[in-house]
Structures are given as C-alpha cells and as structure tokens.
Copies of this chain bind each other. A is one copy, B any other.
Amino acid sequence: MPAKPYELYYWPSIQGRGEFVRLLLEDAGAPYLDMARLPASKGGGVAAIMRFLGGGARVGLEPFGPPFLRHGQLVIAQTASILAWLAPRHGAVPRGETSRLRAHQLQLTITDLLAEVHDTHHPIAGSLYYEDQKPQAKLCAAHFRDERIPKYLDYFERVLEANGGRFLVGRQNSYVDLSAFQVVEGLRYAFPRALRRHTRKLTRLFALADRVAERPGIAAYLASERRLPFSEDGIFRQYPELDSPTGPKA
C-alpha cells in the first residue's frame, strides 16, 4: 500500500477509459485521488489534466491524453499500461509472467473494442458532434451490433470457458474480470436490445459480470457517488436509434 495516494487524471464527468483504472483501485481498496474531480481550489478540475498535456509539464513522459496515473516521479498513460503496472502491486492479477501477459493481452483487446464502440457514434470525426454524423453512425452501429459485438463477446466467453468458467485469467479475480464487467455494463447501457439477444449464449460472461458487481469493493463503489452514471458524453452512449430495431429479430 503506498504511503501517498495515487493521483488519477481523467475527465471528471464521465466514466470513459478512466473507469477501468477506478475499478481496479476501488476493488483493491487502494487510496487514490481522482484529481480532476477535486475542486479547483485544491488543484482539481480539468486544469489539473491540462497541465500535463501539450508539453507543459516536465514530469516524466508527456501523455498523449488522459487517463494517466501519477505516483511520485512516475507518470503512466494509456489505460492498459496503467492497469498492467498497478495490478501486481495490489494482487489484481495472478502471479507470474504468463498470467500478466494474458491479462494484458485481454485488456488490449478491450482497448480495441472501446475504440470501435466510440466509432459507432463518432464514425467520421471525434471533433464533430454526434448530431453531425448521425446517418453514418447508424450504418456503423448496425455493423458493430451484428458483427463486432458477437465476435468480441463470443471470444471472451470462449476464453472464460477454456479457463474453467469463472475467471478470465488464472484462478482468481483479476483486473481483466473487472474490465469485462465494465464492458458488459456499457454494452447493456448502449445496446440493450442487441445485448438481450446474446443472453442465452454468453452465460459465463454475464455471470462473471454479476459476480464482479457483488465484490465488496465494487458493490460499495457502485453505490457511492464516486461512480459516475453512464451518459451521452462517454464511450457507451444510449442512442436508441443505434441499437437493434424493436420487434421480432430479422
């Protein structure tokens, strides 16, 4: 346990990619400061993030963007790398190189999935509003729902099955299980109708998500004000027009 709390830098009003780091820290009971959610009088707000970007700060390697984690002189950016660094310090990944590599590989696959989720509402440009790319988003989301959700979730279901059914890596809960929970929750929020079609097939993955939600640290976090709600500013957005059509499945 570190003497000083970790400093997490992420946008203060969304779950986003920072949520995967928050879940690890909350589950582990590791002390951290969610810097941009502190009041500006305590050095918080978005300004806390911006000080590190664009070549301003001279602490470590400049991050390309949030989330990043500061611990003493170390500044680590990129969600999957932050998690890979934190996990062995908090028992959030089984011991040994093979387990760490497997967890990281799965987390990087989740990284790829998140980029595709973001593209469903921003297929043309992140700098445009959703409203300015709605027709393209509908096309993109249809392919994502019908092709990519099954491809990714079936993959995680197979990995779970090959590993005995309860954990994605090794014989204990790891940060990848927490991340899988977040992905299932996010997809359920953004594509509830599409996800319902998979309920019978993905029994292990959905059961894993249920178990994660009941872990003491996670349950307490989810019930707290620290857990921000999903919203239409985040990665997982509930735009009904991007979900599967209502009515009988085509």
Q: How far is the CB of A160 from chain B (nearest CB, A)?
A: 11
A124–B98 CB distance below 8 A: no
- Rounded to whole angstroms, the CA-CA distance of A174 and B172 in the bound complex is 35
CB distance from A141 to the nearest CB of B (A): 10
Query: Is the interface on chain A under 10, 10 to 19, 20 to 34, or 35 or more residues?
Result: 35 or more
CA distance A143 to B136 in the complex (A): 15
A77–B61 CB distance below 8 A: no
Contact B64 A76 (CB under 8 A): no
Most buried by B among A54, A61, A77, A162: A61
Q: Mark A56-75, 1 if CB is under 8 A from B, else 0.
A: 00101111100000000010
Q: Is the CB of A162 within 8 A of B127?
A: no
Q: Does A129 contact B (CB under 8 A)?
A: no
Question: What are the residues of chain B within 8 A of A85 when measuring CB–CB?
Answer: 101
- Min Cβ gap A32→B in Å is 18
**Which of A37-45, A105-113, A216-224, A227-235 lies on the face that meets chain B?**
A105-113
A76 to chain B, nearest CB (A): 6
A124 near B104 with CB under 8 A, answer: no
Contact of A147 among B109, B127, B162 (CB under 8 A): B127
The answer on a CB contact under 8 Å between A61 and B112 is no
Encode A118-131 as 1/0 by CB contact (under 8 A) with B. Answer: 01000111011000
Q: Which residues of B contact A98 (CB under 8 A)?
A: 60, 74
Q: Are B147 and A124 within 8 A (Cβ)?
A: no
Instruction: Check A125/B140 contact, CB under 8 A, given A62-B155, A78-B105, A159-B62.
Output: yes
Whether A205 is near chain B, meaning CB under 8 Å from some CB there, is no
Separation in Å of the A247 CB from the closest CB of chain B? 23
Task: Report if A109-B158 is in contact (Cβ < 8 Å); known contacts: A124-B143, A143-B127.
Answer: no
**Nearest residue in B to A80 (C-beta to C-beta)?**
B108
Contact B140 A109, beta carbon cutoff 8 Å: no
Over the window 122-159 of chain A, the binary record of Cβ atoms lying under 8 Å from chain B Cβ atoms (1 yes, 0 no) is 01110110000000100110011001000010010011
Q: Which A-B residue pairs are the 6 nearest by beta carbons?
A: A125-B143, A78-B108, A61-B102, A64-B109, A55-B158, A123-B123
